[in-house]
Each structure stands twice: as C-alpha cells, then as structure tokens.
Chain A
Amino acid sequence: MKTVKELSAALAAGQVSAVELAQDYLARIAALNPRLNAFITVDGEKTLAEARAADAARAAGNAGLLTGVPVAHKDIFCAEGWKTTCGSKMLDNFVSPYDATVIANAKAAGLVTLGRANMDEFAMGSSNENSFYGAVKNPWDLNAVPGGSSGGSAAAVAAGLAPFATGTDTGGSIRQPASFCGITGIKPTYGVVSRYGMIAYASSLDQGGAFAHTAEDCALLLNVMAGFDDKDSTSLEHAKEDYTRDLNQPLAGVKVGLPREYFAEGLAGDVAAAIEAAVTELKKLGATVVDVSLPNTKLAIPSYYVIAPAEASSNLSRFDGVRYGHRAANYDGLADMYEKTRAEGFGWEVKRRILTGTYVLSHGYYDAYYLQAQKIRRIIANDFVAAFKDCDVILGPVAPTTAWNLGEKSDDPVAMYLADIYTLGVNLAGLPALSIPVGFGSNGRPVGLQIIGNYLGEAKMLNVAHQFQQATDWHAKAPIL
C-alpha cells in the first residue's frame, strides 16, 4: 500500500502517470467495491479526464506537489457535475451545479477525483448503516461496521481503494471510522476548512478533514483543504499554514495529558491495553505524561444530542421537494406534498434527529433544552482550556470498543449515541483532534488512539502522531481482501 508521499514522488519522477495511477485505483475499486460498498458514485470517464488534465499540467511544467494524486471525496461535498447525494434518497437525483470550496481547492491542487464515498445519511450515524445506498463494510472484517458517518472514506483508504480521502466530523465522524478501519484521520479546528458547499448537518459543529494511512499524508491533504474562505462566515481569518512543518520535531519535553474520565468505566479492556501501550511508546520517544481532568465529559452526550439535532432540524428544512431533489409522485396539496416527500426521502435516523431537534427548539422547551445544552457546551470548552494549561496534547481512546458487528446496534440508537462519548467534546469545544491506529482488539479489529490538540494546534498534534508512526508500524498494516 503506497502513501501519498510515495505516489507524489513517483509522479514527479515520471515512474507513473496520473492516468496510470487512476486506472490502477479504478480497477481496484471495480474489484473490491462490490464487497465493501465504500463508493456511491464512480465515474471512470470523469476520473480519467481529470487525470489526463493532471498529466498535461505536469508536462507543461505546472505540476504541484500533489498534481495527479487520486482522492476520494465524501459524498457530502458539492462537486459540479457529480451526483451529490449526502447518502440520502432525498438527493438521489441531485447533480450539483457548483463546487464546494474543498472541491475547488482539491481541483486547484491537481488532485484527481476517484469517486464519491458512501456515508451515513446527512452525516448522521456512527456505523454507516444509515446510508440510502446500503451499509459500508469494514475492510478488516466484512461483518463489522466501518464506523461513521464518513465510513465510505475510511473503508476506501483502509482497503487501498484511494490513497487518501476527504471526510467531515460533527461528533467524531472522521476519528471514529479512522479508528475502526485502522487508518489516520484528522478533524481540524472549527473554521480551518471552509464549510461552503459542504452539506450542513449541524453547522456549529461540522468540520471537514482528511483520511490517509499516515499523519504526514493527512497533513498534505489538509494543506490543500484548509484556508480562509470569504464564502463561509464562520471560516477563520487565519494565515495559511504548512501542516507538515513540525512533523519532525523530537518529542522530548512534549507533555501529553491523559484525562482520567477517558479511562474510567465503560472503556473496553482490549482498547485500554492498546492505548496504554501507545502511551508507553510515546514516553519512550521522550514525551512526559501528565494526569488531567475533563470533569464534564459525560455531559457531552446530552449536550451534543440537543444542539446537533436542533441545527439539523432547521438545516434539513430546505429538502422540501420544491426546487430539487426527491418529490413524492402523488400528493394532494402543499402540506401533503411536504409530508410525503420528506417521509419518503429521509431515513429513520434523520427523521429521529429532525423530530428531536424540532422538539428542543419548540416554544416552552427552548430554555430547558437548547439553552441548557449551550451552557453545557461552554462548560465543556472551559474544561479543555483548563486541561491544556498542563499539557500540549490530550490523549485518549476514540471509542469505548473496537468496531461492532453490522446490525448489532442499529435498533438501539441510544447505545450508538453513548459510543460517541470520547469524540463529542472536541466538536463542542471546536478543537482539532486526530485518530491513529495503535493496535488491534481481541476480535482482531483495529484500535485508534485519539490525539486532541489545543486551539489551532494541528501542527503539534500531527507532530506527535508522525513521531509515533516513525517508531511503529501499525499504520502500515493492511487488511487482506
């Protein structure tokens, strides 16, 4: 399995062309996607056209570092001329007339689109079983879920169907599938990657990010994706960074915090063991371990599951059958058109969250739910501020267990929500975090270590991850398919 860094070097050296590379990946997708269901849309003609353009740019001397490297895009980023479904029947017929900023940035960097990665419908889910296009399978075990909501992106990279992929993370939707699929995934600080053209689930929490085998590759893709965008009012007016700049800093003197609440009751023994081994490895590399506390960790779940559905209930109102997307075939009047269209177009998890969100924003309930959740959100953010006084990065598990079986939790949404306990706080606080593979559980499924950075602390976080990957080879392990 080749890293992006290696592919970039091979393209630059003329050992392979963008077209050859695209053909290799398309062939692998054709062979394996029927088993994994990682892609919703693959369009070889479009991919090869982009690859030819990349080769032409290189021939003309206009190639950048990543020109011609293939990428898979989560089907949440609007891309001109591509069907952009967000995993929903509602948008099964929607071909975007415009590019998201992330897509425009990827095009400008010369990346070649391999296809559109499967996902939980409207990014709602932790198992990728909520897609209208069917569940994605975990490449390490086809009976296991790949995690969600960016399950297609994670599975595609883990299975070698793409060298890297874009994703989005609202409550863990990059870190958790990266962890379940044994790859590296980064969610940057809120506002670093533009949300323009990224279909909104919960606007104050949604953040685009990257999947790859290595932290270094993630940094390369983040370099392409990130940057201030005046089309997104929540985009940070922050100077462009090179996220690879600190990768090779030694870890001597770096203080890593272990929040005791992340290692308490509920964490599976095999996951805890893999995390502890990784911490030991980091100590060997010179890091100092400090005990920190995030006392309100448990409150992240109720806070998130009020705020996110509230925003979602409003964000998804535009899917009404009037202008684009699904419209019921038969209806009697306007109200009936809305009801049938939305009843047919949305899946159960989406309906559940729209109803929850509508309820918590309703007259008479707003103060008790939405305002209360916002107060908790500030308290949780303050916990992180306090913890970062004592450390440079915070370490912990991504999820309490390794990937569960397909169907295991699909009838129990609350059990599924509780599994998000270690990832939600980061989104509520707007902080950056990543997941790197650090071993396997007793069932042979991957375990991820979460590294949480301080505000705009992406480079430090990537530095820790990269140094770990220089000393270990968990990231180089690949499933046999």
Chain B
Amino acid sequence: MKWEVVIGLEVHTQLTTQSKIFSGASTAFGAAPNTQTAVVDIALPGALPVMNKAAVDKAIQFGLAIGAKINQKSVFARKNYFYPDLPKGYQISQFELPVVEGGAITINVDGVEKVINLTRAHLEEDAGKSVHEDFHGMSGIDLNRAGTPLLEIVSEPEMRSWQEAVAYAKALYSLVTWIGICDGNMQEGSFRCDVNVSVRPEGQQEFGTRREIKNLNSFKFMEQAIKYEVNWQIGEIEEGRKIQQATILFDPDTGETRMMRSKEDAHDYRYFPDPDLPPLVIADEWIERVKATLPELPVAMQARFQSQYGIPAYDATTLTSSKEMAAFFEAVVAAGADAKLASNWIMGDVSATLNREEKTIAESPVSAEALALLIKRVMDNTINNKTAKDVLKKMWESGDSADTIIERDGLKQETDTGAIEAIVDAVLAANPKAIEEYRSGKEKALNALVGQVMKGSGGKANPGMALELLKKKVG
C-alpha cells in the first residue's frame, strides 16, 4: 500500500521584547536563576498581569507579513494545569479568539512552490524551567523565562513530506527573523517546533490519527524525528495495530521518538477567559502604525531586485534568503559594482567561504565596499576574473584592500599588446594541430589556447585580448 504523510506544525517563537508579556521584568537570556522575576512572574498572592503592548506590535507585524487577518478583538484565556515551572498554575494564552487568523507562507521544495496556509497565531506567556542537574534528589525552578512573550504559530495540516515540513519551518524561521520579531536563537529555545504527524493510505480523504512530536529545536532533528515517526506509524498499521493519539518526544541520541503522554493522560485545561485582562482591542490606527514600521518583505524585495537591478529570479531569491545578505548585495551595488557581477560574487565565492567558516554575512571580514572595489577592478580590466578570486582570498585573510594586494603582488593584468604577442606566437608555434582545426571551421579550437597564453603570462594577460590576437594571427 502507498502511504501519504500529513504534517501540521505548531511553532513557538519567542518575541524580542525588552520586558515580559505581563510584567516589567527583563527577558534577557542567561541571568542568574530567578533574578529576572517581578511579583507576577513568581505569582505572588495578589499579583496582576498587565499587557505589554510591544508584544502585540510584533504579533501584528507577523499577521501583516503573512497576509493574515488581525482580529481587532482577541481574548486572553487561562490554560489551567499544575507544574512547578508554571507559577500561577495556569498559562495565560489565547484560545477562542486569537490575535492573528489565517495567512499563508510559500515554500519551495526542489524548485516546486507550494502555499502552506496558517490557521492562527496567538500570544501567550512562556513557562519557567525546571533545573535537575544542580540539586541532589530535588529539582530547582528558574522562573527567569516565565512570562517571556511567545507567538504560537499554527499551520494547517497541509504538508505531505518531511521535506515540506522542514521547508515550511525554515521559511517561517526566515520570515520571523527577517521582520525582527524573533532573534532566531534555536539553542536558547527562541524557535521551538511541535510537529503533528499522521499517515493515511493514498487517496483516503479522512486524516489518520496523529501523534505530536514536542519541542524540536533544530531542523536536523525535525527531519530525523519525522522520518522515524512516519516509518514507525506505517509499521504499526501494517502490522495491524492502531495508532493512538499521543504526545511524544524525540531523543536525538537514539534518533527515536518515545511516548510522553497518551490521550487518556491528556490534561483538561479548563480554558476560560482571564478575568484579570480585558479583551485585547486593536484599533485601525494601531495596525496602520505597525504597518509603517514593517520592513520590505522578501517577496516584494525579490520583485524589486529583478526590476531595479536586472538580475534573474534565481539570484533575487537567493540574495533575499536573509535580510543581511540582501542589504550586503545592495551595498555592493551602491558602491559602484555591476549588479550581476555582485550577485555572482556574493552567491559564489563569498557565500562558499562564509559557509566553510560557519559565519554569517554580517560577520564577513570583507566589507561590501571592499568587495565592490574588487569587482570594479574586474570591470575596468585591471585584473581578470581568475586573479580576482585569488585577490578575494587574500583580502579575506589580511583585510587589505583589493588595490593594495594587486599593487603589492604585481597582479595587474597585462594589456601591452607587444608583450602578449610574443607569448601568442610561442603558443601557436607549439600547437599546429589546433590551428589546422580552427581553419577547418572548428571555432572553439582556439579557446583551448587562451588558457596556455594565460599560463604563459603568469595569469596577467587579458583573456579577451589573447583570443583576439590568436584569431588575428591564425586568420
């Protein structure tokens, strides 16, 4: 039997506010335990939550960026359950009326585009952390994270493979970091994915029973977890067993998923509207104000790059894979480089070197201006393309400018016809066969000789000029 995989994602993104969603305490990561806690975060008797408007701004930004509906009235609800890292005994979240509804994100798997619809995105508070390492026979509680604002982004179950799920997660990641509502630090838990997975026989309409893989904080783990889970579910069904709805965890050490709790153990969260918080009302002016602060989004920027700089769609998409790379590209062009050359260099040698060194473009030792100068030296024929690659390597290591390296290492391209002519003569004399082929109509025969002229000149000859000379002499 052929099986179809059905996947939906719930992603918790920590929002980049200075203070918590319902208190004035700092959200900075890594402080000493329980030092960033206001009375609300410890849930002292009598403490009351007050909405942080900056968190709402970010939810609105997200809604606008995915073309969703911003609910002008949304309601905070209490999700009740007991756990030591949940100080109030309930989490303030949104249940029936979320702040953002609908919207969509386009993914691309192996060149095929697909639109993934979103169900909703809602604001809620993060819990604290249980600390098990430092206490013998006991657990410690650190409430610094309690009350950190989260936007939980829920997709429709529209993904049909692990590739689509990972592509969706990456696209979402790139969007929330692009608009700056999330710092994207997955190690610190800023972007955590719950993946709902089910399988069904191909052609069947109704969904199979799903199991939810909790808290995946890397795309690699997501891939591994889904692959394992899909195989496991198909195996169970093929052996005649039914899938039971469950919440499961992925263990990166074993590469397997395991049961966290079954449906029978599922909490009854007893959601009800939080009487401490009036409904969140978002007037048109608020939405307009946020709209004005929204950066140009990747899709709009791709269209602009194509029309403004005349670069192909593929280049525009690649260059807008991060806001930093797009800005770098525009800075290179602004400093006088040809747009297509700039695009080639950034997508080629610059990206390759950054990847090798595990750096982001913001950390590039070669600035946009320095790269632009190098490209200009190719454009004005001071050096050829091959030399330029070596120059870039030296710029990367030394931090010197292209001009300094060209001057110091004597890399200036040879444009003196007389000097090249001698080398051309010598190459032709050594390759009578190539001359014959050319004369018999094989145009490309001479191209092979250009390389030899270049070699003879120590790389300094202008390849175009060399070809011209070869043709002139033979023809």
Q: Do A and B bind each other?
A: yes
A322 touching B87 by the CB < 8 A rule?
yes
Residues of B within 8 A of A153 (CB): none
Minimum distance in angstroms from A341 CB to a CB of chain B:
11
A203 touching B88 by the CB < 8 A rule?
no
Tier of interface size on chain B? 20 to 34
B45 touching A318 by the CB < 8 A rule?
yes
Q: Is B90 an interface residue (CB 8 A)?
A: yes
In whole angstroms, what is the CA distance A66 to B70 when docked?
A: 50
Complex partner residue of B90 from A202, A314, A338, CB under 8 angstroms: A314
- CB within 8 Å of B: which of A294-339? 310-311, 313-314, 316-320, 322-324, 334, 338
A230 touching B45 by the CB < 8 A rule?
no
Most B CB within 10 A of own CB, among A78, A98, A232, A318: A318
Q: Mark A203-222, 1 if CB is under 8 A from B, else 0.
A: 11000000000000000000
Q: Is A86 an interface residue (CB 8 A)?
A: yes
Q: Mark B34-55, 1 if CB is under 8 A from A, else 0.
A: 0000010011111111110000
Complex partner residue of A98 from B44, B50, B82, B87, CB under 8 angstroms: B44
Residues of B within 8 A of A366 (CB): 270, 272
- Which among A16-24, A191-199, A441-449 touches the partner chain? A191-199
Residues of B within 8 A of A98 (CB): 39, 44
In whole angstroms, what is the CA distance A324 to B43 when docked?
A: 10
Tier of interface size on chain A? 35 or more
B48 touching A318 by the CB < 8 A rule?
no
Supposing A234-B276, A234-B278, A323-B87 touch, asked if A317 and B80 sit within 8 A by C-beta, the answer is yes
A322 touching B84 by the CB < 8 A rule?
yes
Q: Is A387 an interface residue (CB 8 A)?
A: no
In whole angstroms, what is the CA distance A202 to B48 when docked?
A: 13
Q: Is B30 an interface residue (CB 8 A)?
A: no
B276 touching A361 by the CB < 8 A rule?
no
B51 touching A97 by the CB < 8 A rule?
no
Residues of A within 8 A of B268 (CB): 362-363
- CB within 8 Å of B: which of A394-450? none
In whole angstroms, what is the CA distance A232 to B275 when docked?
A: 11
Q: Mark B257-283, 1 if CB is under 8 A from A, else 0.
A: 000000000001011100111100000
- CB within 8 Å of B: which of A330-377? 334, 338, 358, 361-363, 366, 370
B51 touching A233 by the CB < 8 A rule?
yes
The interface residues of chain A, by DSSP majority, are classed as loop
B80 touching A361 by the CB < 8 A rule?
yes
In whole angstroms, what is the CA distance A323 to B41 when docked?
A: 11
In whole angstroms, what is the CA distance A98 to B271 when docked?
A: 30
Supposing A78-B46, A195-B48, A318-B87 touch, asked if A310 and B82 sit within 8 A by C-beta, the answer is no
A311 touching B275 by the CB < 8 A rule?
yes
In whole angstroms, what is the CA distance A323 to B48 when docked?
A: 17
Minimum distance in angstroms from A116 CB to a CB of chain B:
14
Supposing A98-B39, A366-B272 touch, asked if A318 and B89 sit within 8 A by C-beta, the answer is yes
Q: Is B141 an interface residue (CB 8 A)?
A: yes
Residues of B within 8 A of A278 (CB): none
In whole angstroms, what is the CA distance A163 to B277 when docked?
A: 35
B90 touching A233 by the CB < 8 A rule?
no
Residues of B within 8 A of A84 (CB): 45
In whole angstroms, what is the CA distance A204 to B289 when docked?
A: 32
Residues of B within 8 A of A231 (CB): 48, 50
- CB within 8 Å of A: which of B225-275? 268, 270-272, 275
Supposing A310-B272, A338-B82 touch, asked if A230 and B50 sit within 8 A by C-beta, the answer is yes
Q: Is A263 an interface residue (CB 8 A)?
A: no
Residues of B within 8 A of A362 (CB): 268, 270
Q: Is B211 an interface residue (CB 8 A)?
A: no
B82 touching A198 by the CB < 8 A rule?
no
B46 touching A233 by the CB < 8 A rule?
no
- CB within 8 Å of A: which of B8-58? 39, 42-51
Minimum distance in angstroms from A308 CB to a CB of chain B:
10
In whole angstroms, what is the CA distance A324 to B49 when docked?
A: 19
Minimum distance in angstroms from A317 CB to a CB of chain B:
2
In whole angstroms, what is the CA distance A133 to B424 when docked?
A: 108
In whole angstroms, what is the CA distance A316 to B268 when docked?
A: 17
In whole angstroms, what is the CA distance A298 to B272 when docked?
A: 25
Q: Is B78 an interface residue (CB 8 A)?
A: yes
A314 touching B89 by the CB < 8 A rule?
yes
Q: Is A106 an interface residue (CB 8 A)?
A: no
Complex partner residue of B42 from A197, A203, A323, CB under 8 angstroms: A323
In whole angstroms, what is the CA distance A197 to B276 when docked?
A: 13
B277 touching A233 by the CB < 8 A rule?
yes
A358 touching B278 by the CB < 8 A rule?
no
Closest to A122 in B: B45
Residues of B within 8 A of A78 (CB): 44-46
Residues of A within 8 A of B84 (CB): 320, 322, 334
Supposing A233-B276, A338-B82, A361-B80 touch, asked if A318 and B88 sit within 8 A by C-beta, the answer is yes
Residues of B within 8 A of A363 (CB): 268, 270
In whole angstroms, what is the CA distance A233 to B21 when docked?
A: 13
In whole angstroms, what is the CA distance A319 to B51 when docked?
A: 23
In whole angstroms, what is the CA distance A363 to B270 when docked?
A: 7
In whole angstroms, what is the CA distance A199 to B44 when docked?
A: 9
Q: Is A91 an interface residue (CB 8 A)?
A: yes
Supposing A233-B276, A318-B89 touch, asked if A200 and B270 sit within 8 A by C-beta, the answer is no
Complex partner residue of A322 from B49, B80, B141, CB under 8 angstroms: B141
A196 touching B272 by the CB < 8 A rule?
no
B46 touching A317 by the CB < 8 A rule?
no
Q: Is A292 an interface residue (CB 8 A)?
A: no
A198 touching B46 by the CB < 8 A rule?
yes
Minimum distance in angstroms from A429 CB to a CB of chain B:
15
In whole angstroms, what is the CA distance A313 to B271 when docked?
A: 12
**Could you jot down 24 A-B contacts, CB within 8 Å?**
A77-B46, A78-B45, A84-B45, A96-B44, A96-B45, A195-B46, A200-B46, A232-B48, A233-B48, A233-B50, A233-B277, A234-B275, A310-B272, A313-B270, A317-B80, A318-B43, A318-B87, A319-B45, A322-B141, A323-B87, A361-B271, A362-B270, A363-B270, A366-B270
Q: A78-B44, A98-B39, A199-B45 provided; 20 other pairs, C-beta below 8 A?
A: A97-B39, A198-B46, A200-B46, A232-B48, A234-B275, A234-B277, A314-B78, A314-B80, A314-B90, A317-B80, A317-B82, A317-B90, A318-B87, A320-B82, A322-B141, A323-B43, A362-B268, A362-B270, A366-B270, A366-B272
Q: Which 5 A-B pairs have the closest CB atoms?
A: A317-B89, A204-B275, A361-B270, A203-B275, A197-B46
